[in-house]
Amino acid sequence: MNGAGPAGEASPRYRIVVAEDAYLVREGIRQVLAQEDEVEVVEFCSDLSSLLQAVDRHDPDVVVTDIRMPPSNTDEGIRAAAALRESRPEMGVVVISQYVSPHYAIKLFEDGSARRAYLLKEHVGHRNHLMGAIREVASGGSVVDPAVVEVLVESRTRARNSPLAHLTPREREVLAGVAEGKSNAAIAKSLFLTKRAVEKNINSIFAKLDLADDTDVSRRVVASLMFLAETGAPYQGVTSQR
Partner 1 sequence: MTPRAPVPEDSSIVLDEPAALDEPAAVDAVPWTLSARELRADREVERQLRPVRLAAGRPTATELTIAVAAVAAAAVSAAVVLRGGIAASPAGLAFVLALYVLVCVVAGLAWRRARPWSPYGLALVAYGLVASLYSLGATTQPLVHSLGVLLEIPGSFFVLWLVLSFPSARLDGAGRAALGLAGAVLLVGCLPAIFLLDSLSPTQPLARCGAACPSNPLQVVDNASLARTFGHVDAVGHAVVYGLILTLLAVRFARASRPRRRLLGPVYLFSALLFVATGVYQVAVNLLGASPDATGPAGFGLTAATILFPFGFIAAIVFAYAYVGAALASMVREIGVSSSVTGVEHVVRQVLDDPKAQLAFWLPRSRRYVDRHGRGVVLDEEATSTWRSVERSDGEPMLAIVHDPALDEDPELMEAVGAETMLALENRRLQQDLLDSIAALRASRKRLVAVAAAERRKIERDLHDSAQQMLIAIRIQLELVRGEVGPASRLERQLNRIGTDLDRALDELRSVAHGIYPPLLAEEGLAAALTEAARRTPIPVVLELEEVGRLPEEIETAVYYCCLEALQNAAKHGGPDVAVTMRLWWEPHLLRFSVSDDGVGFVPGENREPTGLTNMLDRLGAIGGRISIRSAPRRGTDVDGAVTVSP
How far is the C-alpha of 159 from the C-alpha of 238, rounded, in Å? 21
Q: How far is the CB of 29 from partner 1 (least distance, A)?
A: 7
Provide Rg for the chain, Cα atoms. Answer: 19
How far is the C-alpha of 161 from the C-alpha of 199, rounded, in Å? 26
Residue number with CB closer to partner 1 (2 or 161): 161
Residues 6+ apart with CB under 8 A from 216: none
* Ramachandran category for residue 59: left, alpha or beta (phi over 0 → left; psi -120 to 50 → alpha): left
Q: How far is the CB of 55 from partner 1 (least distance, A)?
A: 24
The angle subtended at Cα 65 by Cα 72 and Cα 149, nearest 5°, is 100
Q: Give just the sign of the alpha carbon dihedral 205, 209, 212, 214.
A: negative
Q: Residues in the site for partner 1, rule: CB under 8 A?
A: 22, 24-25, 27-29, 31-32, 35, 68, 73-75, 98-103, 121-122, 124-127, 151-152, 155-161, 232
Q: How far is the CB of 54 from partner 1 (least distance, A)?
A: 21
Q: How far is the CB of 190 from partner 1 (least distance, A)?
A: 25
Q: How far is the CB of 181 from partner 1 (least distance, A)?
A: 21
Q: How far is the CB of 196 from partner 1 (least distance, A)?
A: 36
DSSP tag of 8: T
Residue type, 1: M
Cα 167 from chain centre: 25
